[in-house]
Amino acid sequence: MKGLSIVAILAVVGMIFLIGGVAAALNRTLTTARCEACGMEVVKTDVSTERVVSSDGEEHWACCPICGFVVGLYYEDAEIQGQCFACNQDIDVHLEASQLSYVEFSGNKEFIKVLVGGMCMKNKLVGSAACAQAVHQSYEWATDVPEKTLQEALMIGNNKLATMTVGYKPISIPALNYVLIGTGVVLLAAAPITWKLMNKRSESPATN
Ligand SMILES: [Zn+2]
């Protein structure tokens, strides 16, 4: 009876490790991605993250509006789904044959701007002058960041496209997840072995 409970504990703990490791890895795969332009890791739901849908229906990810244009331009025909960094309103920019085609936005499209801070973390999409102002005032790094029109930002993306290798980049799974999965598998494998060994040991005196 004591042997059985040791085996059960091994199996249960092994299962917990295995499920925990797999769930963590799966959760990471579902909720994060890497920018197809610069490789930066992004949380898919982050306000700065852009989802780019190419004409074949495939989804791609970008970390900022400039990388969004780089990725969109790479696929030539694409819908770049972004959000205003200040008010979270959806701003969907459609590219056709690498040109701005049209924009889906509930506000006045003329006021959509891209704050271009020179690095991905400082490139932000905004939907109105008030939102642009809010970003300038709320973040120290954004105080002097210039505002570009979508067309100007597209040109910046076009220049960057030549210097970047665009394409799917797999996310890295933390070593801890592999350790959890590995430990789980070892414990699960150990459970039946332990069971066999214990049975043999308990049988041997009887057979003698
Ligand atoms: Zn990027």
Distance 72 CA to ligand 1 centre (A): 12
Residue 71 φ/ψ, nearest 5 degrees: -65, -45
Distance 195 CA to ligand 1 centre (A): 53
Residue 52 φ/ψ, nearest 5 degrees: -110, 125
Q: Which residue, among 12, 49, 43, has the nearest Cα to 27 in the 3D structure?
A: 43
Q: How far separated are the first and last CA of the chain, in Å rounded? A: 22
Residue 190 φ/ψ, nearest 5 degrees: -70, -30
Q: pLDDT value at position 60?
A: 98
Q: pLDDT value at position 200?
A: 85
Distance 34 CA to ligand 1 centre (A): 8
CB-based contacts of 118: which residues, under 8 Å, 6+ apart?
A: none
Distance 36 CA to ligand 1 centre (A): 7
Distance CA 143, CA 150 (A): 20
Q: pLDDT value at position 6?
A: 87
Given a cut of 50, the residues of the chain with pLDDT beneath it are: 207-208
